Amino acid sequence: MKRSEFARASTPESLVEHVGRNAPVLGHPYGGTMESIREATYRGHDIVIRTSYHIEVDGAPLEGHLGVANDGQVHYHAIPNLRFVSTVDLVKQLIEAFPEDFQPRSGGHAHREEP
């Protein structure tokens, strides 16, 4: 690719057009069901554990990447330095850390708040 072609292809407008044109083919890498794979070897046996999560907040699927460590603690890509013993606690922390991503619902009934 010539330098002038590269320059044209790397403009913000060109990138937006490219992503828009290819988004249906690529799909969204996150969202829906999240799967974590853990592997270990014990006494000559290969162990593979696949844990799947489908998390919703106010009816909307939580997008991102959730992982489970071998000790069972869960972590989330957006807050990589924190681990939780409960996935519910992890989601509560996401709501605290990113309130703009979890706007209050309009209408409907309120859920009981738990500490």
Give the DSSP letter of residue 103. Answer: P
pTM of the complete model:
0.60
What CA–CA distances, in Å, run from 40 to 30, 36, 44, 45, 86? 26, 14, 10, 8, 22
38: helix, coil or strand? strand
pLDDT computed for residue 105 by the predictor: 66
Which residue in 76, 73, 68, 69 sits closest to 30, CA to CA? 76
Per-residue pLDDT of the chain (115 residues; tens, 9 = 90+): 688 877 877 787 776 776 667 655 444 444 567 888 999 999 999 999 998 999 999 988 988 888 999 899 999 988 888 999 999 999 999 999 999 988 876 654 444 455 5
CA atoms within 13 A on the CB side of 101: 16
The domain locations on the chain are 1-29, 33-101
CB-based burial, 12-31: b 16+ in 10 Å, e otherwise: eeeeeeeeeeeeeeeeeeee
